[in-house]
């Protein structure tokens, strides 16, 4: 093999790798958004690790409940309510984190229940992609400062949604 051919092959592989690094998160987010708009449950299931998303939400909400129960001004009734909430939290999250609900979150940029997203509701939110490391990136809605963000983890050459991060403000609302 000639030296020029080897250099050309290395250059092509390097360019493809750099392109994948920078472009694949936007591609993954776009495919997830397409699946959400189309209501394609099979595609959503392929692009979301539901067990991981459920666990991330459960741990965040349980941590919030523990902090609220340990507050100095929390009364006995609030602590009792927190204990009851801890008991039903797992089943509640399991029931809420479904392909349909995740599709709505992706389409709206918010984690809210309700019907399937429709074009009459407006345009999709713009998402900002923030690289956290080689194997992870975060997608944050631009317009909704205090909305949930999505964390994706590299899965082979693709990406899967593995975590939804609820902002502290969202936990304190209501």
What are 76-127's pLDDT values in tens digits? 777 677 778 778 888 889 888 888 888 887 777 655 544 444 454 555 667 8
Tokens, residue 50: 């539901």
Rounded distance between C-alpha atoms, residue 2 and residue 78, angstroms: 76
Rounded to a whole number of angstroms, the CA Rg of the chain reads 20
CB 148 within 8 A of CB 166: yes
The owner of tokens 């964390």 is 151
pLDDT of 49 strictly over 90: yes
Report pLDDT digits (tens) over 123-147: 566 788 999 899 999 998 876 666 7
pTM for the model stands at 0.77
Contacts of 43 (CB under 8 A, 6+ apart): 31, 34, 35
């Amino acid at each position: 093999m000639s030296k020029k051919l080897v250099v050309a092959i290395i250059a092509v592989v390097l360019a493809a790798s750099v392109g994948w690094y920078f472009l694949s998160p936007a591609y993954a987010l776009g495919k997830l958004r397409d699946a959400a708009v189309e209501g394609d449950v099979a595609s959503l299931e392929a692009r979301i690790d539901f067990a991981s998303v459920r666990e991330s939400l459960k741990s965040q909400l349980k941590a919030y409940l523990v902090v609220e129960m340990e507050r100095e001004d929390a009364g006995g009734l609030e602590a009792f309510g927190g204990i009851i909430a801890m008991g039903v939290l797992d089943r509640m999250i399991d029931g809420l984190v479904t392909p349909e609900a995740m599709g709505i979150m992706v389409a709206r940029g918010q984690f809210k229940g309700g019907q399937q997203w429709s074009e009459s509701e407006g345009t999709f939110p713009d998402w900002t992609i923030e690289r956290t490391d080689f194997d992870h990136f975060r997608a944050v809605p631009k317009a909704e400062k205090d909305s949930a963000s999505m964390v994706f983890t590299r899965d082979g050459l693709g990406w899967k949604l593995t975590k939804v991060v609820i902002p502290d403000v969202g936990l304190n609302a209501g």
